[in-house]
Amino acid sequence: MKPAAFDYVRADTLDEALAVLAAEGGDARIIAGGQSLMAMLNMRLARPKVLVDIMRIGDLDRIAEERGRIVVGAGVRQAKLLAWSELAAKLPLVALALPWTGHEQTRSRGTICGSVAHADPSAETPLCLIALEGEVHLRSARRRRVVAAGDFITGMMNTARQDDEMIEAVSFPIRAGNGYGFREVARRHGDFAITACAAIASANGIRLAVAGVADKPEVRNWPDLDGSALDDALNAFAYELDARDDIHATARYRRDLVRQIGREVIMEARRCRA
Amino acid sequence: MPRLTATQRHSVRFRLNGHPVEGSAEPRMQLADFLRHELGATGTHVGCEHGVCGACTVLVDGMLTRSCLTLAVQVDGCDVRTVEGLAPERGRLSVLQAAFRRHHGLQCGFCTPGVLMSLDRYLSTNPNPTEDQLRELLSGHLCRCTGYTPIIRAAMEAAATLASSTRQEDSTHV
Ligand SMILES: Cc1cc2nc3c(=O)[nH]c(=O)nc-3n(C[C@@H](O)[C@H](O)[C@H](O)COP(=O)(O)OP(=O)(O)OC[C@H]3O[C@@H](n4cnc5c(N)ncnc54)[C@H](O)[C@@H]3O)c2cc1C
Ligand code: FES
Ligand code: FES
């Protein structure tokens, strides 16, 4: 299908984009990579009055290290972050997970921040941002604020973003010495995950984050559990996620994936811990 | 900061396969429709209109791009490449296209324009691909006819041909 009619604004500066959001509020939508929004427009699941294109704003496509964090600007496409030479050293979890986000042909256009703004419950980037205790940097014409990733995503495609705000950047803390593991199960490489698991092993124990089961990524922190204690923790977590049946998988299959690949990624993360 | 109004048609200009082109589009017009209906460049196909099938894949400023997930007005001033630009001259096929013909890499041909754009772009930056890498690349395309195996064969052969011809060129330069 074809989109309903909308005005199109190509913003040259951040202030211009924010001014449109301030004036039009919920009737305006930012378009970044377009890899989720355009499909929604084509299917008329979204009918904004005005689209604000932010991809020609200079300086928004920055990847920078600032105060122990990697800051990824709203203009950074997934392919650009994946090709960044320091990614594996600074953000090993993102380096593991990002190749699973869509296909070469969608990562070339889709952005990191767009993925967080879209907040699909199966998406890898929000999962990593929450697992790593990252932050979302919001900006409007009135103010700037920083929200913890875990508080930003509030449900399926729901976030704490106000209508006049845009995500200016997201930031991931750099943590040396931790071990990481990531795995997902999808029908085909690049399809949305039926279940995705990310584990972090640190000096304090393990942290497991799961996407694709609940309406947003969920996280648990445990001490260094082993054997049946780990099985019990994984089993309890799998049930707490309140999995549902859908066309792709049953709730029972999803719980099984949490137990199986949850354990695998935890073991992998422990092996990689310094 | 230009604001293009919803109900009017706006002039859109870009380079298509190296040549300047111009047409007009409402903001909501997909690049795929602009190519096909405004410019008459019907080589690019449209299947699903939500990014999944890959038939509409083109290059915009060197980036593989779903033309169904891109607006015509977004590519104003850009460099756009489509399947029509692959052949080196009229009546001659590119190495990749010739390999597709030899290996029956297409049957109905619906998916082919997008598949060719992805492979052409990929081989230009990864001259020695493994079969696994090509299969992963092709996960971004749906082909209902071939079962993908002949596509992979054609692409592997094209990669080998391109690699040996660049080796020959290199050796003639020394
Ligand atoms: C075939 C296919 C397969 C895919 N598979 C996966 C997958 O496996 N995993 C996955 O995670 N994703 C997948 N995606 C979606 C992914 O490619 C998108 O890139 C991502 O979801 C959105 O990023 P975008 O830059 O394209 O955003 P857009 O589509 O431009 O925007 C998405 C939403 O976010 C808002 N938005 C964008 N940027 C900002 C900002 N800076 N501030 C505020 N709001 C903003 C928009 O208004 C819109 O509501 C897939 C897409 C396709 C077409
Ligand atoms: S028509 Fe664009 S991906 Fe299917
Ligand atoms: S050749 Fe028919 S869909 Fe691929």
Q: Does A247 touch chain B (CB under 8 A)?
A: no
List CB contacts (< 8 A) between A188 and chain B: 139
Domain B95-169: assigned CATH number:
1.10.150.120
Atom 47 of ligand 1: nearest residue by CA position:
A30
CA–CA gap between residue B18 and residue B20 (Å, rounded): 7
CA–CA gap between residue B156 and residue B118 (Å, rounded): 14
Contact yes or no for A35 and B69 at CB 8 A: yes
Mind listing the domains of chain A with CATH numbers?
7-53 (3.30.43.10), 62-173 (3.30.465.10), 179-272 (3.30.390.50)
Q: Does A22 touch chain B (CB under 8 A)?
A: no
- Which ligand sits closest to the CA of B65? 2
Total beta-carbon pairs less than 8 A apart between chain A and chain B: 114
Contact yes or no for A38 and B57 at CB 8 A: no
Q: What is the reported pLDDT for A189?
A: 85
Pair B18, B86: CB distance under 8 Å:
no
Task: Please report the residues numbered 78 through 117 in chain B whose beta carbons come closer than 8 angstroms to any beta carbon of chain A.
Answer: none
Give the SS3 label for residue A61.
coil
CA–CA gap between residue B15 and residue B11 (Å, rounded): 14
Is 70 exceeded by the pLDDT of residue B172? no
Indicate whether this complex's ipTM tops 0.85: yes
Q: What is the reported pLDDT for B1?
A: 73
Is 70 exceeded by the pLDDT of residue B170? no
Q: Does A221 touch chain B (CB under 8 A)?
A: no
List CB contacts (< 8 A) between A103 and chain B: 54, 137, 139-140
C-alpha distances out from residue B124 to A97, A139, B118, B130, B165, Å: 25, 40, 10, 14, 13
Q: Whole-angstrom distance between the N-terminal and C-terminal Cα of chain B?
A: 52
Q: What is the reported pLDDT for B63?
A: 98
**From B34, B66, B138, B139, mutation site for ligand 2 pocket: most ligand atoms within 8 A of C-beta:** B66
**From B49, B58, B110, B141, mutation site for ligand 2 pocket: most ligand atoms within 8 A of C-beta:** B49
Alpha helices in chain A (DSSP H): 14-24, 37-42, 78-83, 87-90, 92-97, 104-107, 112-118, 124-131, 149-152, 227-240, 251-272
DSSP B74: G
Per-residue tens of pLDDT for chain A, all 274 residues: 899 999 999 999 999 999 999 999 999 999 999 999 999 999 999 999 999 999 999 989 999 999 999 999 999 999 999 999 999 999 999 999 999 999 999 999 999 999 999 999 999 999 999 999 999 999 999 999 999 999 999 999 999 999 999 999 999 999 989 999 999 999 888 889 999 999 999 999 999 999 999 999 999 999 999 999 999 999 999 999 999 999 999 999 999 999 999 999 999 999 998 7
Pair A137, A169: CB distance under 8 Å:
yes
Q: What is the reported pLDDT for B164?
A: 86
Q: Which atom of ligand 3 is nearest to the CA of B107?
A: 1
> B71 C-alpha to center of ligand 2: Å?
13
Neighbours of A265 (CB within 10 A): 27
Task: Please report the residues numbered 46 through 75 in chain A whose beta carbons come closer than 8 angstroms to any beta carbon of chain B.
Answer: 49-51, 53, 55
Mean pLDDT of B94-115: 98
Contact yes or no for B2 and A104 at CB 8 A: no
Q: What is the reported pLDDT for B174?
A: 45
Paired with A52 in beta bridges are A9, A30
CA–CA gap between residue B53 and residue B32 (Å, rounded): 13
CA–CA gap between residue A252 and residue A255 (Å, rounded): 5
Higher pLDDT, B165 or B33: B33
C-alpha distances out from residue B28 to A110, A230, A252, B3, B67, Å: 19, 52, 42, 13, 13
Q: Where are the domains of chain B?
A: 10-85, 95-169
Contact yes or no for B1 and A9 at CB 8 A: yes
Q: How many CA atoms lie within 13 A of A46 on its CB side?
A: 22
Q: Which residues, other chains included, contact A199 with Cβ-Cβ below 8 Å and sequence gap of 6+?
A: A180, A181, A182, A206, A207, A208, A209, A262, A265, A266, A268, A269
- Which ligand sits closest to the CA of B144? 3
| Token pair listed for A195 | 């279940």
In terms of CATH architecture, what is B10-85? Roll (3.10)
